């Protein structure tokens, strides 16, 4: 610790020593570079033609011109942005935005109410209800897809055992194939993790805050609105990032719930379908992946400052 602080011209030994002591910093940047190489390669390849991608590695892109290929070329981006199959990319991006915004805000609100109730309203069976809710994190959500699709497309019916009469609990509302079906599904699937995360945080808020508020005559709704929400902005933003990333990048749930209604399909489905059969046009995925990554990145950078503080209080004070 002391060797590096000596002022003036240092002899060779300490200089080597200081150099080697900085290994941890290199390790950081080596890791960062390693983590970025794959994405960087994608970026370079997205600017190359199909045959160029096939015949040489992206680090040789600078030779493309000599090999008779265009580089850099925007033709992949043009093809992606001009895609018309599966509803087109502009339409897909709109649908993605619609899905991700609503499926981020509504679960956060619902989970915040529930987390508050689990943390600060006393009632019988609270602990077990909470454990039961969190245990549902373990459900592989794919199993819910077909029953939910059935419910959206033809309602929910149940046969009462003894009298053998079929009862319609939820009528057929024609939700299948629409974006609201995706909202509802994402909302339900997000709740266990959202409640888990928010509850950690909200339960860790100082108790005296609530007591003094109650003495002032505030009811639960007021406490929640005036006290809990402002104090929880960090964790709400943190969850918002995760949920936005997941819903924006989701492919399976949206495709299953929307199916053959192509005007409602999100951008991930549009881009995936560009590849075509046998991966014929797979080179277009390079550009497509970048186009759909832009939005979540913007969201990440916008919410990042909340994010860091957010998770902290929740997970550390547990």
Contact 58, 45 (CB under 8 A): yes
The torsion angles phi and psi of 122, rounded to 5 degrees, stand at -85, 130
Least distance (Å) between residue 38 CB and other proteins: 5
Which of 232/268 has CB closer to other proteins? 268
DSSP per position, 236-303 = HHHHHHHHHHHHHH--HHHHHHHTT-GGG--HHHHHHHHT-GGGTTTTHHHHHHHHHHHHHHHHHHHH
Which of 240/311 has CB closer to other proteins? 311
Which of 94/213 has CB closer to other proteins? 94
Least distance (Å) between residue 8 CB and other proteins: 20
The tokens of 121 are what? Answer: 């309203």
How far apart are the C-alpha atoms of 100 and 84, rounded to whole Å?
A: 22
Least distance (Å) between residue 77 CB and other proteins: 14
Which of 137/212 has CB closer to other proteins? 137
Least distance (Å) between residue 65 CB and other proteins: 16
Least distance (Å) between residue 282 CB and other proteins: 7
Omega before 72 cis (within 30°)? yes
Which of 47/195 has CB closer to other proteins? 195
Which of 6/36 has CB closer to other proteins? 36
What are the C-alpha distances in Å from 87 to residues 143, 156, 250, 274? 28, 30, 17, 11
How far apart are the C-alpha atoms of 109 and 96, rounded to whole Å?
A: 20
Helix (H, G, I), strand (E, B) or coil at 304: helix
Least distance (Å) between residue 99 CB and other proteins: 10
Least distance (Å) between residue 211 CB and other proteins: 16
Contact 115, 199 (CB under 8 A): yes
Which of 47/224 has CB closer to other proteins? 224
């Amino acid at each position: 610790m002391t060797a590096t602080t000596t002022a003036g011209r240092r002899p060779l030994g300490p200089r080597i020593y200081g150099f080697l002591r900085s290994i941890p910093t290199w390790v950081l940047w080596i890791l960062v570079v390693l983590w970025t190489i794959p994405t960087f390669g994608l970026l370079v390849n997205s600017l190359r033609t199909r045959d160029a991608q096939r015949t040489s590695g992206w680090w040789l892109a600078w030779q493309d011109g000599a090999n008779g290929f265009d580089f850099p070329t925007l033709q992949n981006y043009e093809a992606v942005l001009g895609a018309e199959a599966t509803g087109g990319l502009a339409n897909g991006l709109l649908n993605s935005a619609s899905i991700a915004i609503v499926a981020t805000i509504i679960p956060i609100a619902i989970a915040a109410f529930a987390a508050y109730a689990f943390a600060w309203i006393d009632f019988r069976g609270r602990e077990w209800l909470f454990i039961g809710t969190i245990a549902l994190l373990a459900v592989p959500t794919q199993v819910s897809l077909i029953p939910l699709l059935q419910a959206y497309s033809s309602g929910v019916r149940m046969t009462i055992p003894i009298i053998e009469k079929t009862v319609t609990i939820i009528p057929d509302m024609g939700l299948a194939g629409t974006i609201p079906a995706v909202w509802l599904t994402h909302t339900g699937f997000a709740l266990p993790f959202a409640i888990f995360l928010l509850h950690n945080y909200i339960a860790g808020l100082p108790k005296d805050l609530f007591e003094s508020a109650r003495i002032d005559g505030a009811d639960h709704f007021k406490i929640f609105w005036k006290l809990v929400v402002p104090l929880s902005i960090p964790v709400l933003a943190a969850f918002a990032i995760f949920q936005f990333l997941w819903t924006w990048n989701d492919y399976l749930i949206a495709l299953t719930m929307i199916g053959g209604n192509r005007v409602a399909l999100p951008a991930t489905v549009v881009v995936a379908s560009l590849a075509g059969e046998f991966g014929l046009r797979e080179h277009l995925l390079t550009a497509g992946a970048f186009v759909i990554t832009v939005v979540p990145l913007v969201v990440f950078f916008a919410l990042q400052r909340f994010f860091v503080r957010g998770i902290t209080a929740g997970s550390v004070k547990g």
